[in-house]
Amino acid sequence: MMFPNWAKNILFLLVYMISGLVLVIIIEGLLSGTELTPLNTVIERVVVHMRTPFLTTILVTVTRLGNPFILSSATVFIAVLLIIRGRVYDAALFVTALIIAVVSLTILKNTFQITRPGSELVAVNGWSFPSGHATVATAFFFMLAHTFFGKMGTLKGKISLILGSISGAVLICFSRLYLGAHWTLDILAGIALGLLSVSLTVLMFNVFIGERRSLRERINL
């Protein structure tokens, strides 16, 4: 199942617009102190009642595996494998998307400087908004699905890739909320920022490189 380039561009444009709108709404809510802010407290109370020793052990492991440094290292590893296979364009796309996500994340954290809720279950440091784990995990798994979707030979393989990517991102995001490392709005903003970073990168590559066959062929040499 292959999609024409124009259809892909429309899809990524929709993701870009929706995720950007969500991020703007969250930021506006934080700045103006609207009804969005109490959502943090409500969700926190619900999550606290879900905690059990067994689930905590699992999610501590998940959150460690979902560390931005580990996912960034995995990105480099995947990029090297893609380059070895002659897929330099895809490697550059993957790495660029993660770089944009990390840079955007760093700028927002240092701009808003929101204090974390405080966690007794896992060590936390740095500013809270947006969640680094949520941002990088969303960008990483989104790019993973995008990069290898066309290489899956069967519909079952494509579905497994998508569901696996979604599950990986959701588990990491939930682990940060469950462990008390972030507020709910931190997680939602991180997801939106991750989607925004990837969709923007894909659109830029498609418009400026993907449609220029000769340039793309030179990159893949």
Q: How far apart are CA 33 and CA 18, in angstroms?
A: 22
Residue 64's identity, in one-letter code, is R
- pLDDT, one tens digit per residue, over 27-46 is 988 887 666 777 788 888 88
What is the pLDDT at residue 8?
A: 79
Q: Are 51 and 116 in contact (CB under 8 A)?
A: no
What is the pLDDT at residue 32?
A: 79
What CATH number does the domain located at 5-219 have? 1.20.144
- Give the residue-averaged pLDDT of 3-14: 80
- pLDDT, one tens digit per residue, over 158-176 is 999 999 999 999 999 999 9
Sign of CA dihedral 118, 119, 120, 125: negative
| Long-range contacts formed by 109-113: CB under 8 A, 24+ apart | 112/27, 112/30
Q: Does residue 135 carry a pLDDT above 70?
A: yes
Q: How far apart are CA 116 and CA 40, in angstroms?
A: 11
User: Confidence band (pLDDT; 50, 70, 90) for 187?
Assistant: very high
Cβ atoms < 10 Å from Cβ of 67: 15
